[in-house]
Amino acid sequence: MAVESLNATNASSPYMNDLFKVNQSLTSGSRINNSADDASGQAIVTSLTTKIKDQDIGVQNANAGINLLQTADGASNSITQQLQRLSELSLQAQNGTYSDAQRSMLDQEFQQGLKSINQFAESTSFNGIKLLNADTPAIDIALGPDNTSTLQLPDLTTNSLGLTGTDISTNSNAEAVQSQITDVLGLISDSRAQLGSQQNGLVSAANNLMNQNVNSQSTRSQINDTDYAKTVTDQARQQVLNNASVAMLAQRNQNYGNVLPLLN
């Protein structure tokens, strides 16, 4: 009888262990809580979790790049508006009805406009990074392992635009600088188009990463998440088996207790 009792005790252990695993799965929401549950599955889940985190960071980096480009484009628009005003002033200065004193006043505003352009170019920054003064001609955006997007940034200082030292103090100077400003406006328009194209590229990359992220999470969920309908059924089954095993053990212990006095 002692041997049978011991066997019943041993038989109850697997049921207790299985019941513990089922309860843990229901509590945690994860089918795999340690490598013993599913070693290969856990390896896949770990790899997918790493990929998901990388994709999350890639999206964050892409959004930061988009914000950077929007900052650069906003300042470029302000510079464009300032150049348009300088073009108006240069056209005014070409008017033969203006006196030298009047042209001098126009030129004062013109020179102040050039300073404003430089202020925009020198002060525009993102997270401490200068964007429009050639300090940072290019910047890398890390979208993932071995996946980097390089952003090209323009130099919009008056020196780079060829406007340093220009004036509209005379009719001929005003005529020459107006033609120059027209060319510069074309260059900035091209530069802004490039900023927009790069922004669209990052938006597309971010959307792609988010789609990959959804797919990765779905795959991980299929492997790792608890199937509650199945697991609740397993829990009921394991409880029945465990209770039956415990009852059998109790009965055999009782039988053993009844027989033992007879043997004495």
* Alpha-carbon distance values, 111 to 85, 117, 118, 132 (Å): 12, 10, 11, 20
The 10s digit of each residue's pLDDT in 141-155 is 999 999 999 999 999
pLDDT recorded at residue 238: 56
Does position 48 have pLDDT exceeding 60, yes or no? Answer: yes
pLDDT recorded at residue 82: 98
Burial class (CB in 10 A: 0-12, 13-18, 19+), 204: exposed
Measured CA to CA, the distance from residue 256 to residue 258 in angstroms comes to 5
Structure-token pair, residue 221 = 């969920």
Residue 127 φ/ψ, nearest 5 degrees: 55, 40
Instruction: Tell me which of 196 and 244 has the higher pLDDT.
Output: 196
pTM: 0.76
* Alpha-carbon distance values, 180 to 121, 165, 194, 204 (Å): 19, 13, 21, 36
Give Cα 3 distance to the centre of its chain.
64
DSSP annotation string for 161-172:
HT-TT---SSHH
Question: pLDDT > 70: what percent of the chain?
Answer: 70
Does position 225 have pLDDT exceeding 80, yes or no? Answer: no
Instruction: Tell me which of 138 and 245 has the higher pLDDT.
Output: 138
pLDDT recorded at residue 222: 80
Kindly compute the dihedral angle of the four CA atoms of residues 22, 24, 26, 28, in this order, to the nearest 10 degrees.
Answer: -150
Does position 234 have pLDDT exceeding 60, yes or no? Answer: no
Say if residues 118 and 78 touch (Cβ distance below 8 Å). Answer: no
* Average per-residue pLDDT for the chain: 84
Range scoring the smallest mean pLDDT among 26-30, 112-116, 174-178 = 26-30
Does position 61 have pLDDT exceeding 80, yes or no? Answer: yes
Burial class (CB in 10 A: 0-12, 13-18, 19+), 85: middle
Instruction: Tell me which of 249 and 228 has the higher pLDDT.
Output: 249
> Three-state SS for 129?
strand
Range scoring the smallest mean pLDDT among 73-82, 104-113, 178-187, 247-256 = 247-256
The 10s digit of each residue's pLDDT in 126-144 is 999 999 999 999 999 999 9
* Alpha-carbon distance values, 146 to 54, 80, 142, 212, 219 (Å): 11, 37, 8, 16, 23
> Three-state SS for 143?
strand
pLDDT recorded at residue 58: 98
The 10s digit of each residue's pLDDT in 153-201 is 999 999 999 999 999 999 999 999 999 999 999 999 999 999 999 999 9
Residue 128 φ/ψ, nearest 5 degrees: 85, 0
Measured CA to CA, the distance from residue 76 to residue 234 in angstroms comes to 65
> How confident is residue 3, by pLDDT bands cut at 50, 70 and 90?
very low
Residue 2: strand pairing partners: none
Does position 20 have pLDDT exceeding 70, yes or no? Answer: no
